[in-house]
Structure 1
Amino acid sequence: MTRYVFITGGVVSSLGKGLASAALGALLQARGFTVRLRKLDPYLNVDPGTMSPFEHGEVFVTDDGAETDLDLGHYERFTGVAARKTDSVSSGRIYSNVLEKERRGDYLGKTIQVIPHVTNEIKDFIAIGEGEVDFCLCEIGGTVGDIEGLPFFEAIRQFSQDRPRGQCVFMHLTLLPYIAASGELKTKPTQHSVKELRSIGLAPDVLVCRSEGPIPEKEREKLALFCNVRPDSVIAAQDLKSIYQAPLAYHREGLDQAVLDAFNISPAPQPNLSRWEDVQDRIERAEGQVRVAIVGKYTQLEDAYKSIAEALTHGGMANRVKVKAEWIDAEIFEREDPSPYLEGFHAILVPGGFGERGTEGKIKAAQYAREHKIPYLGICLGMQMAVIEAARNLADMKNAGSEEFDHEAGEKRFTPVVYHLKEWVQGNHRVERRQDDDKGGTMRLGAYTACLSKGSKVAEVYGTTTIEERHRHRYEVDIKYREELEKKGMTFSGLSPDGRLPEIVEVKDHPWFIGVQFHPELKSKPFDPHPLFKDFVRAAKDNSRLV
C-alpha cells in the first residue's frame, strides 16, 4: 500500500518546499522505505519547456523526455530515483487533458466543470503507479490562497477522503519572520496560513516552519495550540550553509519521525544516515578551492543553471575541494577582450541556451580556454560554440556559424557547421521535425545512447564506451565537417549509435577540453557525482596548482 504525503506552502513562495520534500524522501529512504516524488504546478503553461529561464529557472529533463519544473532535479539529486513524465503536471496539462476528453466525447455530453472533471483528472494523475512504492510525496506549487491552486487543494482533499483513514498525511511549510526591532519571532503569519488551509478542508499533520534560527519552546507550543498539531510535529527549518545539510538537519528536528508518527508506523525502522554524513563531511572538510567561470546568457538568475551549479558542487565533493562558481555574462565578451575577465580561473564552463544573444561571447570563451590550455567543458550550445570556434580558427572556415542564428548577408553565405535537426532515431522509430513546428516538446528530448571512441578522453572519464545521457536541443553539429576538423585537432569522440549525430568533441594536445551535446548535469548527485563533472573539477584542481 502506498502512503501519500502532500506538501503545501503558505505565507510566501520560495520557502523551500521542493528541498523539504526531497530531504524527507531521502530520510524515508534511509529508514528502508521506497519513495517517489511528484510536483503539481498550478500555472497554465502545459510545461515549462517554452518558458524563459528568467521566468521559471531551468527546465529539468527526465529520461523519458519530459520538460519539468526544476524541483524534480532536487528530488533526483536527494533520492537517486529517476523522475518520469508522470511525476510532474501543471494546470495547463490537466485542462488540456480534460478538453481533449471532452472533444472525444468521453464525458458523454455532460457539462464539464472544475468539480468533478478537473479534480478527477488531478486525482487520476496522483494515483498513477499506486502500489509501486511505500511513500509518494506530492508537492503542490504556489501558496495556499492562490486562486489558481484551488483545484489542486480540492483534489488532494477529495483524494484523502477516497483513501482509507491513515493513508494520507499533510505537511505545511510556512514562514516564521523574526522582527529585529522587537526581538520577536512572529507566529501570526503561520496561524493565518493554517487558517486559510483549514477553510478549504485541509488540516496539516506536520508543520514545517522556515526560520533564521531555532524555534523557542514557547513559540513551538503556541503554534501547536493554535494550528492544532502536536508540539513534536512543529519542525524548524533553519537556514543552512548548504542544501545538502538538509536531510541531517531535518532528522535532528524530527521531521521523518513526525511523518511516520502521523501514519502510526511504530516501531519505525532506524535510519542509516551514513550516506549523508559522508556528504556533509566532504562539504565541511574541503581541502582547497577552485574557481570556475560559467560563461552564460542567463547569469542574472542562478536558478537558470541550477543543475550545473549543483553538479559542480558534487564534483568538488568528489575531489574534496570547494568549487567557487562565478557567473559571467557572455555578452560582455562581444564588446570586450575576455582575457581580463578569465585570467585566474582554473576552469571554464559554457552552458546551454537558445537564440543568438551572447553566442559570439561564448565562442570567445571557448577560444580563450583552447589557446590558454584551461580546462573547458561545453554543454549543448557550449559544445556547438566550441566547434564553430575550431572551424573558424583552426580549419580556416571564417564564416562558420549556426542555422539557429546566422543568416545570408548579401552574396556572402555562412557555413552551417551547426544545423537544424530534421530527423533522428528514437528507440525503434524515426522522429521528424520541421523548423516551423510548435516550440513546445518538439526538441530531441530525453535519454539517448552515445558510443565513445576507444582510447578517447571521455572513454577514460566514463570508464566505458557506451553511455546514456539526457538531451534537450533542436540543433546539431553537422557530421560532414568531421574529417576537416579532426585534421586540425578537434576529434569527434562520441557519436549516436548510427554514427550520424556528433555527441562529444575533444581537443587534442590540451589538458582537458570536452564539449558534449547532452546535459550531464541532470544526472549528477552528491553521493554519485557525474563522471564528467568529477573529472572536470579534478582538472581544475590540477590547474590551480599551476596558476
Structure 2
Amino acid sequence: MARFVFITGGVVSSLGKGLASAALGALLQARGYSVRLRKLDPYLNVDPGTMSPFEHGEVFVTDDGAETDLDLGHYERFTGVAARATDSVSSGRIYSNVLEKERRGDYLGKTIQVIPHVTNEIKDFIAIGEDEVDFMLCEIGGTVGDIEGLPFFEAIRQFAQERPRGECIFMHLTLLPYIAASGELKTKPTQHSVKELRSIGLQPDILVCRSERPIPQKERDKLALFCNVRPDAVIAAYDLKSIYEAPLAYHREGLDQAVLDAFQISPAPKPDLSRWQDVYDRIVNAEGEVRVAVVGKYTQLEDAYKSIAEALTHGGMANRVKVRAEWIDAEIFEREDPSPYLQDFHAILVPGGFGERGTEGKIRAAQYAREHKIPYLGICLGMQMAVIETARNLAKLPDAGSEEFDHEAGERRFTPVVYHLKEWVQGNRTIERKVDDAKGGTMRLGAYTAVLEPGSRAAQIYGTTTIEERHRHRYEVDIRYREQLEAAGLKFSGMSPDGKLPEIVERPDHPWFIGVQFHPELKSKPFEPHPLFADFIRAAKEVERLV
C-alpha cells in the first residue's frame, strides 16, 4: 500500500507547490522508492483544455489523451513517470461524475450532498493505483481558505482519518515575507495560514517556507512552536538560479529526511543524487550560449509555453550550452519586416496555438528561417505555417491557408492545404469529429505512432523509423497536396501508420528545417532531453553567430 503525502499551500498562490512536489518525488526516487504524483484542482472547468493559456498557462497532454494542468509537466520532468488521466482532476470533473451517477440512479434516490458524495468521489480518485507505488504525492491546487477548495480539504481530512495511523502526512507551503523597513522576515502570515488549516481539521507535519532571505534559527523555532511542527520539519525554500537545482536544494534543507521521519521510516535509505548533480553541472558549467527566437501568440505569459521553454533548456544541457529563449509576438511580423528582429538569433521556433491571430507573422518567420538557412522547428501549428509558407511561395498556391481560419471568418478565403480532421484511427477504432462539435476533449489527443522514412533527417535524429508522440490538434495538413509540396522541396518524412496523416516535414536543402504535427516538448526531461530539441540546439550551436 502506498504512503500518501498531501501538499497544500497558503498565504499566496504561485509559491511553487508543483515544483516542491516534483522535487520531493525526485528525492524519494533517489532513495529507491517508486512514486506517483497527482493534482487536485478546485476550479470548475472539467479540465484546462478549453481555458485560454493566459488564464492557466499551457495544457499538458498525457499519453492517454488527458488535457491536464501544467504541474503534471513538472512531475514528469522531475520523475520520468509518465502522467495519466487519473493523475489530474478538477472540481468540475468531480461534480460531473457525481451528477452522472445521480442521473443513472447510482445513489438510489438519496439526496446528493457535498458530504459524503462529493468528498467520497475525491477520495476514490486519490486512491486510484495506490497498490502500484511506494509513495503517492497529491497536490491540492489553490490556497487554504479558498471557498472552492473546501471539499478537497475535507476529503483529504477524511481520507487520512480513515487510513491506518502513519499512512498519510501533510506538507504545507507558505511564504515568509521580508519587510525592508524593519529588516525582518515575518512569520505571522504562515501562522495564520496554519491556523486556517487546523480549523478544518488538518495539522501539517512539514512546513516549507518560501523566502528570499535566509531564515534565522529563532524564526524557525518560532514557526515550529506556533505551528505545532518539529523544528527539523521547518524547511526553507529559497529562490534558485534554475528549477533543476530544486532536488539538491531541498535535500540540503532536509525535506526528504523530514518526510521519511514523519512516516517513521528508519533507517532511511541513502540517496543517490548523481543524476541531479550531473543536471546541475550541465546548467552552471555551460560552454557558450545560443539564442532562440520563439515566435508565438501567447508570449506575454511564459507559462503558456512552459514545456517548450524547459525542452529548450534540456536541449542546451545535451549540448552543454545555455539556451536563451526570447519570446516574440508573431503579430509584430504582420506589420513589420522580421529581419531586424530575427537576424541575430541562432534558431527560430514556432510553437502551437489555435486561431488565426498571429498566423501571418508565423508564416513570415518560417519564410525568414527558410531563406536565411537558420535552424527552424515548427510544432503543431508551427508545422502547418511552414507548410503554408512553402505552398504560397514555392508550390504555386498563393491562396494557401487553413480551413481553421475560414471557419472562423465564416467565408471561403483560402485554398485549404490544412483541413479539419473528420476521422482518424486510434488503436483499433475510428474516431469521428465535426467542425461544430463541442470544443472540450474533441481533438486528436494523446500518444500516436508515426512511421519515419528511412534515411530522413528525422529518422537519423530519432535513431529509429517508428516513434510515438503526443498530439493536441483539430487540423491536419492535407495529403492531397503532398506531390506539389515535395516538388517545392518540402519532404514528408513522417506519416501515420495508415499513410494518411502527415506527422513530420523537413527540407533536405536546408541545414535544419523540421516541422512536426505533435508536441515533442511534452516528453522532454532534463536527464533525457528530447532528441529533436537536442539536435535542434546542436544545429543552432553550429551557426556562425554563436557567442
The TM-score bracket by the shorter chain reads over 0.9
The answer to which of 302-311 and 210-219 deviates more is 210-219
Counterpart residue number, 1:456: 456
What's the offset of the Cα at 1:149? Answer: 0.2
Counterpart residue number, 1:446: 446
Could you list the per-position Cα deviations for residues 249-286 of structure 1 after superposition, in whole angstroms to 9, with x for gaps in the alignment?
00000000000000000000000000000000000000
What's the offset of the Cα at 1:136? Answer: 0.2
Counterpart residue number, 2:27: 27
The separation in 2 between residues aligned to 1:149 and 1:261, in whole angstroms, is 28
What's the offset of the Cα at 1:180? Answer: 1.0
Counterpart residue number, 1:17: 17
Counterpart residue number, 1:56: 56
Counterpart residue number, 1:132: 132
Does the aligned pair in 1 maintain the 2:346–2:545 contact within 8 Å?
no
Closer/same/farther in 2, CA of residues 171 and 408 from structure 1, 3 Å limit: closer
Q: Structure 1 unaligned segments of length 5 or more: list them.
A: none
Q: State the one-letter code of the partner of 1:414.
A: F
Counterpart residue number, 2:299: 299
The separation in 2 between residues aligned to 1:381 and 1:362, in whole angstroms, is 9
Could you list the per-position Cα deviations for residues 275-298 of structure 1 after superposition, in whole angstroms to 9, with x for gaps in the alignment?
000000000000000000000000
1:40 aligned counterpart, secondary structure? strand
Q: State the one-letter code of the partner of 1:313.
A: T
What's the offset of the Cα at 1:413? Answer: 5.1
What's the offset of the Cα at 1:130? Answer: 1.4
Counterpart residue number, 1:275: 275
Does the aligned pair in 2 maintain the 1:407–1:413 contact within 8 Å?
no
Q: State the one-letter code of the partner of 1:305.
A: Y
Q: State the one-letter code of the partner of 1:381.
A: L
After TM superposition, list the pairs within 5 Å mapping 1:40-189 onto structure 2: 40-189=40-189
Does the aligned pair in 1 maintain the 2:406–2:412 contact within 8 Å?
no
Closer/same/farther in 2, CA of residues 163 and 407 from structure 1, 3 Å limit: closer
- How many pairs align? 547
Does the aligned pair in 1 maintain the 2:22–2:78 contact within 8 Å?
yes
Closer/same/farther in 2, CA of residues 8 and 415 from structure 1, 3 Å limit: same
Q: Pairwise CA RMSD of aligned residues?
A: 1.2
Could you list the per-position Cα deviations for residues 228-252 of structure 1 after superposition, in whole angstroms to 9, with x for gaps in the alignment?
0000000000000100000000000
The separation in 2 between residues aligned to 1:335 and 1:244, in whole angstroms, is 39
What's the offset of the Cα at 1:508? Answer: 2.0
Does the aligned pair in 2 maintain the 1:376–1:513 contact within 8 Å?
yes
Does the aligned pair in 2 maintain the 1:471–1:519 contact within 8 Å?
yes
Q: State the one-letter code of the partner of 1:162.
A: E
The separation in 1 between residues aligned to 2:77 and 2:283, in whole angstroms, is 16
What's the offset of the Cα at 1:181? Answer: 1.1
Counterpart residue number, 1:489: 489
Q: State the one-letter code of the partner of 2:76.
A: E
Q: Output the TM-score relative to the length of structure 1.
A: 0.99
Alignment of 1:326 onto 2:326: yes
Could you list the per-position Cα deviations for residues 405-455 of structure 1 after superposition, in whole angstroms to 9, with x for gaps in the alignment?
036999985211000000000000000000010000000000000000001
Closer/same/farther in 2, CA of residues 72 and 407 from structure 1, 3 Å limit: closer
Counterpart residue number, 1:341: 341
Does the aligned pair in 2 maintain the 1:28–1:34 contact within 8 Å?
yes
The separation in 1 between residues aligned to 2:543 and 2:383, in whole angstroms, is 21
The separation in 2 between residues aligned to 1:480 and 1:289, in whole angstroms, is 41
Q: State the one-letter code of the partner of 1:210.
A: R
Does the aligned pair in 1 maintain the 2:344–2:545 contact within 8 Å?
no
Closer/same/farther in 2, CA of residues 412 and 76 from structure 1, 3 Å limit: closer
Q: State the one-letter code of the partner of 1:40.
A: L
The separation in 2 between residues aligned to 1:129 and 1:173, in whole angstroms, is 26
What's the offset of the Cα at 1:545? Answer: 4.7
The separation in 1 between residues aligned to 2:105 and 2:413, in whole angstroms, is 53
1:307 aligned counterpart, secondary structure? helix
Does the aligned pair in 2 maintain the 1:58–1:304 contact within 8 Å?
yes
The separation in 2 between residues aligned to 1:56 and 1:29, in whole angstroms, is 29
1:323 aligned counterpart, secondary structure? strand
The separation in 2 between residues aligned to 1:456 and 1:124, in whole angstroms, is 48
Identical pairs, percent? 88
The separation in 2 between residues aligned to 1:408 and 1:470, in whole angstroms, is 26
Could you list the per-position Cα deviations for residues 442-495 of structure 1 after superposition, in whole angstroms to 9, with x for gaps in the alignment?
000000000000010000000000000000000000001111111111000000
The separation in 1 between residues aligned to 2:411 and 2:173, in whole angstroms, is 62
Closer/same/farther in 2, CA of residues 212 and 482 from structure 1, 3 Å limit: same
Does the aligned pair in 1 maintain the 2:288–2:546 contact within 8 Å?
no
Closer/same/farther in 2, CA of residues 357 and 150 from structure 1, 3 Å limit: same
Counterpart residue number, 1:508: 508
The separation in 2 between residues aligned to 1:413 and 1:211, in whole angstroms, is 55
What's the offset of the Cα at 1:337? Answer: 0.6
Closer/same/farther in 2, CA of residues 214 and 415 from structure 1, 3 Å limit: same
Does the aligned pair in 1 maintain the 2:178–2:213 contact within 8 Å?
no
The separation in 2 between residues aligned to 1:409 and 1:484, in whole angstroms, is 27
The separation in 2 between residues aligned to 1:182 and 1:413, in whole angstroms, is 64
1:324 aligned counterpart, secondary structure? strand
Could you list the per-position Cα deviations for residues 211-237 of structure 1 after superposition, in whole angstroms to 9, with x for gaps in the alignment?
012211000000000000000000000
2:132 aligned counterpart, secondary structure? coil
Closer/same/farther in 2, CA of residues 510 and 229 from structure 1, 3 Å limit: same
The separation in 2 between residues aligned to 1:405 and 1:486, in whole angstroms, is 24
1:172 aligned counterpart, secondary structure? strand
Closer/same/farther in 2, CA of residues 258 and 335 from structure 1, 3 Å limit: same
The separation in 2 between residues aligned to 1:66 and 1:42, in whole angstroms, is 17
Counterpart residue number, 1:470: 470
Does the aligned pair in 1 maintain the 2:291–2:325 contact within 8 Å?
yes
